[in-house]
Amino acid sequence: MNIINHFIDTMKTVLVTRATDFDGRSDRPEYWWFTLYLTIAIGLCVAVDNYVIGITFWSFLEPWPGGMRESGILVGLLFVSTIVQSISLTARRLHDRGHSGWLQLLTNVLNRAKPVGDNHQLWNVQRNSQANFDTILQCISLRGNPEILHYPHRVEDNTQQKIFGFLIEKANFHYWKFDFKVQNNSVFSDDLDSLGYLVKDCHEIPMIKCGTESDVDLPNFLDTTPELNNIYFMENV
Q: Read off the pLDDT of residues 76-113 as tens digits, 9 standing for 90 and up.
A: 888 889 999 999 998 898 888 778 888 777 766 555 55
**pLDDT in single tens digits along all 237 residues of the chain:** 588 888 888 899 999 999 899 998 988 889 889 988 998 888 888 888 777 665 554 443 444 343 334 456 788 888 889 999 999 998 898 888 778 888 777 766 555 555 555 567 777 788 888 888 988 998 998 888 888 899 898 888 766 667 787 666 665 677 889 999 998 888 999 888 999 999 999 999 998 877 655 555 667 899 998 888 889 898 876
Domain boundaries, the chain: 1-114, 133-237
Long-range pairs, 219-228, Cβ under 8 A, ≥24: 222/136, 223/165, 224/199, 224/200, 225/165, 226/165, 226/166, 227/165, 227/166, 227/167, 228/165, 228/167, 228/168
pLDDT at 108: 64
Give the percent of the chain with pLDDT over 70: 76
Q: How far apart are CA 153 and CA 103, in angstroms?
A: 22
